[in-house]
Amino acid sequence: MPPPAPKVKFRGRVLENEPLARYTTYRIGGPARYLVLPADADDVVKALDLAQSRGLPWFVLGLGSNLLVKDTGFPGVVIRIGKGLDRFEMKGATAIVGAGLPTPLLARRTAEAGFAGVERFIGIPGTVGGGVYMNAGCHGAEFAEVVTEVTTMDAKGKLKQLPRKQISYKYRSSNLGTVIVLEAKLALIEEPPAKLKELQGRLLRWRKAGTPFDQPCCGSVFKNPGGPRTAGALIDEAGLKGFTIGGAQVSALHANYIVNTGTATASDVLKLIEHVRKTVAKKMGVELELEVKVVG
Ligand SMILES: Cc1cc2nc3c(=O)[nH]c(=O)nc-3n(C[C@H](O)[C@H](O)[C@H](O)COP(=O)(O)OP(=O)(O)OC[C@H]3O[C@@H](n4cnc5c(N)ncnc54)[C@H](O)[C@@H]3O)c2cc1C
């Protein structure tokens, strides 16, 4: 017999056996035992309690734009940080931002308010929480440069305000560990809105021309290895553009993107990742490391 539905009242929603494909940009992924859509920080505590009381693992989800959820799904509590936790406020040149705010919205609102620092993140389709946690970035900028404080909640529901100097950031990673990012303060610099808007237009046009913008994917699959060539250039030179397994394909537009052509399963993508990794190691002598997080 499955355990009875949770009795605790949430202000947000709790969905059972909810397919996660709907919540990832890959449009791939089996069900979560529970998917909690918290309306506020109290709901996040309740979601953690739910996991604890049932002895289930938990996982934080943003916009699912850097995730590959396995076909078998996640046998625990997925806590999706989004609406309700998406505050945006400017205090002088400091942006106070909820983790659930989409990063493109952050980029647009700060630019419109006349502040630079995150304007180049206009095309990163994740949440601020995911970006702060993963140290997302592009076009020579990353979250690590603007974050001054991060509010986190630990597995016991305890809140903490971490100043920037206590956080160590590396390329696409942080040492934040097993916590939920709820809010961040970002230090920005005044700049004319028209100039920022013009730059954002140019960057979006670049993305539309150079990446498979309209196909389900997770952005870059591998981290750039730090040598003279990017992961995309190495995969391209290994002759893998267009290589397909099942419904998963190395994009012909950008070789570090693996796209879901419509019917891909997580298993197709994982097989293709392995093939790319092995081929690049053999032909190019470089071990590629995953940027996408595999869940389940
Ligand atoms: C078309 C496309 C283009 C992209 N371009 C870029 C790019 O230019 N630069 C770049 O860096 N990335 C890029 N990405 C990847 C992705 O958008 C970023 O990594 C983004 O920051 C992930 O945010 P998310 O909310 O979607 O996180 P998710 O994918 O939901 O989660 C990613 C990881 O962050 C954790 N996480 C999410 N939210 C929180 C939270 N509130 N607290 C704690 N942990 C959390 C998750 O547990 C998981 O480990 C791209 C993706 C796509 C699909």
Q: Is 119 a catalytic residue?
A: no
Distance of CA 26 to the CA centre of its chain: 12
Q: Is 174 a catalytic residue?
A: no
Please give the helix or strand (H or E) that residue 282 lies within, else none: helix 266-284
Probe ligand 1: pick from 36, 61, 66, 132, max atoms within 8 Å of CB? 66
pLDDT for the residue 210: 87
Atom number, ligand 1, closest to the C-alpha of residue 218: 53
Residue from 65, 174, 220, 251 carrying the catalytic annotation: 220
Pick the CATH number of 231-295 from 3.90.78.10, 3.90.700.10, 3.50.50.60, 3.40.640.10: 3.90.78.10
Average pLDDT over residues 172-192: 97
Q: Is 78:61 a contact under the CB 8 Å cutoff?
A: yes
CB atoms within 10 A of CB 116: 20
**CA–centroid distance, residue 181 to ligand 1 (Å):** 13
Same fold, 13-80 and 231-295: no
Torsion-angle region of residue 24: left (phi > 0), alpha (psi -120 to 50) or beta? beta
What are the DSSP E strand ranges found in the chain? 13-19, 31-37, 58-61, 67-69, 74-80, 88-91, 94-98, 115-116, 137-138, 141-142, 147-153, 159-163, 169-170, 173-174, 180-187, 189-190, 244-245, 248-250, 258-260, 293-295
Mean pLDDT taken over the chain: 96
The pTM of the full predicted model, rounded to 2 decimals, is: 0.95
pLDDT for the residue 6: 54
Kindly report, residue by residue over 123-164, the tens digit of the pLDDT: 999 999 999 999 999 999 999 999 999 999 999 999 999 999
Residue from 172, 173, 237, 267 carrying the catalytic annotation: 172
Residue 246 in this model has a pLDDT that exceeds 80: yes
User: What is the domain partition of the chain in residue ranges?
Assistant: 13-80, 88-209, 231-295
Atom number, ligand 1, closest to the C-alpha of residue 142: 11
3-state secondary structure of 234: helix
Structure tokens at 262: 């419509």
284-287: which pairs have CB atoms within 8 A and are 24 or more residues apart? Answer: 284/234, 284/237, 284/238, 286/225, 286/227, 286/229, 286/234, 287/225
User: CB within 6 Å of ligand 1 — which residues?
Assistant: 25, 59-67, 81, 99, 124-127, 129-131, 133-134, 136-138, 180-181, 217-219, 293
Ligand 1, atom 45: nearest CA belongs to which residue?
A: 130
Average pLDDT over residues 170-182: 96
pLDDT for the residue 2: 57
Atom number, ligand 1, closest to the C-alpha of residue 61: 30
Atom number, ligand 1, closest to the C-alpha of residue 217: 53
Kindly report, residue by residue over 40-62, the tens digit of the pLDDT: 999 999 999 999 999 999 999 99
**CA–centroid distance, residue 212 to ligand 1 (Å):** 17
Distance from C-alpha of 3 to C-alpha of 13, rounded to nearest angstrom: 18
Q: Kindly indicate the confidence band of residue 227, based on its pLDDT and cuts at 50, 70 and 90.
A: confident
Residue 5 in this model has a pLDDT that exceeds 70: no
Distance from C-alpha of 277 to C-alpha of 279, rounded to nearest angstrom: 6
pLDDT for the residue 1: 57
Structure tokens at 45: 């505590």
Residue from 119, 142, 149, 291 carrying the catalytic annotation: 291
pLDDT for the residue 214: 87
Q: Kindly indicate the confidence band of residue 4, based on its pLDDT and cuts at 50, 70 and 90.
A: low
Q: Kindly indicate the confidence band of residue 292, based on its pLDDT and cuts at 50, 70 and 90.
A: very high
Cβ neighbors of 44 (< 8 A, separation 6 or more) are 36, 38, 79, 81, 85, 153, 157, 180, 182
Ligand 1, atom 24: nearest CA belongs to which residue?
A: 126
Kindly report, residue by residue over 24-42, the tens digit of the pLDDT: 999 999 999 999 999 999 9
Q: Is 291 a catalytic residue?
A: yes
pLDDT for the residue 213: 81
Average pLDDT over residues 72-83: 98
Which CATH code for domain 13-80?
Answer: 3.30.43.10
Ligand 1, atom 41: nearest CA belongs to which residue?
A: 129
Ligand 1, atom 52: nearest CA belongs to which residue?
A: 219
Average pLDDT over residues 67-73: 98
Structure tokens at 76: 């625990």
Q: Kindly indicate the confidence band of residue 86, based on its pLDDT and cuts at 50, 70 and 90.
A: very high
Vertex 160: Cα angle to 167 and 223 (nearest 5): 35
Atom number, ligand 1, closest to the C-alpha of residue 63: 26
Which CATH code for domain 88-209?
Answer: 3.30.465.10
